[in-house]
């Protein structure tokens, strides 16, 4: 009997304790009485963990990745230039006798603008014509005498030369008389008048300007890195401060074949119709050059993007209503949206709100449709393009 009691005293006792979901096994060797005060309880799972131990679904706002046209537009400062503009000056010196235009008046090509005093030019022409008649008579007489062999060839050549010089002198006097009349070189609008009747003017005196504004040009310097995306005939849009909110459009017709070494830019010009004469030379223009256009790009709201340095990712809701992280490649950045060029398909649901609570594989519950309205409305309101300032 004593042997049995001693064996019981030395019986090895194993105790299992539960901490959360983990079980710790403790082995006691010794008297049963020494551990008699321990209470043994079974290991049970905490209440509220849900059947099967899963997490409750997290409510998120998700929208579909959509296909739509996107364009990249380069915004640059430019200058409005008249199609044609000339500083009107006389080709000869004289006194302004008549001024036949009003400031700001439309003038046609060939219209007489200013007439100088022609008295001296007319007198010089009359003298030259009289001298021409004399030299012509001497020339014809010398030709007859040469045929009769009454004068030498040298005497005949001298008479012929004198006649030619007189003829040239008459042509010169006629041209000087013509130069006393200043004509409009092309049709346009006259500028401010810089002279008065009776004023003595020279070849360097500015009379006025004639400006053709029926068509205007826009000149802009484009950085060389964008030149490969430009071509003749490309659409250009711009605005001016004088007409806020109004867009003017034209086509690129010139791309400089040379790069400015100082600024690394190339001069680009475009023509814009200006029948209402709203645009004036010298105006500052803010130009939009469309560089890229894709008709069916995949676009998502920008808040869906998660960045880590140069790497971007999004949470995609799969067919099992679970959130899966997806690496994506971002293209153009739009106003409140982003183009996805790789890693996402049209129609997939991307999470735009609630990403901070998610982990890969987490169950999600989609918020009601009205919660997505702000993201869908922004797509309708924003233009399908991005602006880059050089």
* CA distance linking residue 112 with residue 101, whole number of Å: 8
For residues 221 and 193, the answer to whether their CB atoms sit within 8 Å is no
Assess whether the region 58-70+295-384 and the region 75-82+209-293 belong to the same CATH fold.
Answer: no
Highest mean pLDDT among 20-24, 253-257, 357-361, 370-374: 253-257
Asked if the model's pLDDT at residue 34 lies above 70, the reply is: no
**Backbone CA torsion sign across 171, 173, 177, 183:** positive
* CA distance linking residue 53 with residue 46, whole number of Å: 10
Question: How is the chain split into domains, by residue range?
Answer: 2-44, 58-70+295-384, 75-82+209-293, 92-207
What tens digit of pLDDT does each residue of 350-379 get?
999 988 888 899 998 888 888 888 887 655
CA 344 centroid distance within chain? 29
For residues 324 and 361, the answer to whether their CB atoms sit within 8 Å is yes
* CA distance linking residue 74 with residue 230, whole number of Å: 11
CATH 2.60.120.370 corresponds to the domain 58-70+295-384: no
User: Count of CB atoms within 10 A of residue 182's CB?
Assistant: 25
What average pLDDT does range 150-154 have in this prediction?
A: 91
Lowest-confidence pick of 33-42, 150-159, 213-222, 305-314: 33-42
For residues 201 and 94, the answer to whether their CB atoms sit within 8 Å is yes
* CA distance linking residue 340 with residue 376, whole number of Å: 17
pLDDT attached to residue 26? 45
pLDDT attached to residue 229? 79
CATH number of the 92-207 domain: 1.10.287.470
Q: What is the chain's mean pLDDT, rounded? A: 83
75-82+209-293: which CATH architecture? Answer: Beta Barrel (2.40)
pLDDT attached to residue 226? 85
Comparison of pLDDT for 24 and 127, the residue scoring more: 127
For residues 339 and 69, the answer to whether their CB atoms sit within 8 Å is no
Asked if the model's pLDDT at residue 237 lies above 90, the reply is: no
Highest mean pLDDT among 36-40, 215-219, 336-340: 215-219
Residues above pLDDT 70, as percent of the chain: 82
Task: Give φ, ψ of 166 to 5 degrees.
Answer: -65, -40
For residues 57 and 373, the answer to whether their CB atoms sit within 8 Å is no
Kindly give the residue spans of alpha helices, DSSP state H, lying in the chain: 2-9, 119-147, 153-179, 373-381
What tens digit of pLDDT does each residue of 121-141 get?
999 999 999 999 999 999 999
pLDDT attached to residue 261? 93
Residues above pLDDT 90, as percent of the chain: 56
């Amino acid at each position: 009997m004593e042997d049995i009691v001693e064996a019981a005293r030395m019986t090895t006792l194993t105790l299992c304790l539960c901490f959360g979901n983990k079980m710790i096994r403790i082995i006691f060797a010794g008297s049963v009485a020494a551990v008699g005060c321990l209470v043994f309880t079974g290991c049970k799972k905490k209440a509220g963990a849900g059947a099967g131990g899963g997490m409750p679904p997290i409510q998120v706002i998700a929208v579909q990745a959509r296909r739509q046209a996107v364009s990249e537009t380069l915004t640059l400062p430019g200058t409005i230039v008249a199609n044609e503009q000339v500083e009107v000056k006389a080709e000869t010196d004289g006194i302004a006798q008549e001024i036949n235009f009003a400031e700001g008046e439309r003038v046609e090509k060939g219209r007489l603008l200013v007439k100088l005093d022609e008295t001296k030019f007319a007198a010089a022409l009359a003298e030259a014509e009289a001298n021409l008649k004399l030299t012509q008579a001497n020339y014809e007489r010398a030709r007859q005498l040469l045929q009769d062999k009454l004068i030498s060839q040298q005497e005949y050549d001298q008479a012929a030369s004198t006649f030619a010089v007189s003829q040239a002198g008459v042509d010169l006097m006629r041209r000087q008389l013509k130069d006393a009349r200043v004509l409009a070189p092309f049709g346009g609008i006259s500028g401010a008048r810089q002279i008065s009747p009776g004023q003595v003017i020279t070849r360097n005196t500015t009379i006025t300007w004639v400006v053709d504004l029926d068509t205007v040009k826009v000149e802009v310097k484009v950085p060389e890195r964008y030149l490969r995306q430009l071509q003749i005939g490309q659409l250009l849009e711009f605005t001016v401060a004088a007409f806020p909110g109004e867009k003017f459009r034209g086509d690129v017709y010139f791309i400089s074949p040379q790069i400015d070494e100082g600024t690394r830019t190339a001069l680009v010009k475009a023509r814009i119709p200006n029948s209402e004469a709203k645009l004036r030379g010298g105006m500052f223009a803010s130009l939009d050059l469309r560089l890229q256009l894709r008709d069916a790009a995949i676009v998502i709201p920008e808040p869906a993007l998660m960045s880590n340095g140069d790497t971007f990712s999004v949470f995609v809701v799969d067919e099992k209503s679970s959130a899966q992280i997806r690496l994506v490649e971002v293209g153009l950045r739009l106003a409140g949206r982003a183009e996805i060029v790789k890693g996402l398909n049209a129609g997939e649901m991307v999470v735009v709100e609630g990403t901070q609570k998610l982990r890969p594989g987490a169950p999600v519950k989609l918020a009601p449709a009205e919660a997505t309205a702000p993201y869908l409305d922004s797509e309708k309101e924003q233009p399908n393009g991005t602006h880059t300032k050089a």
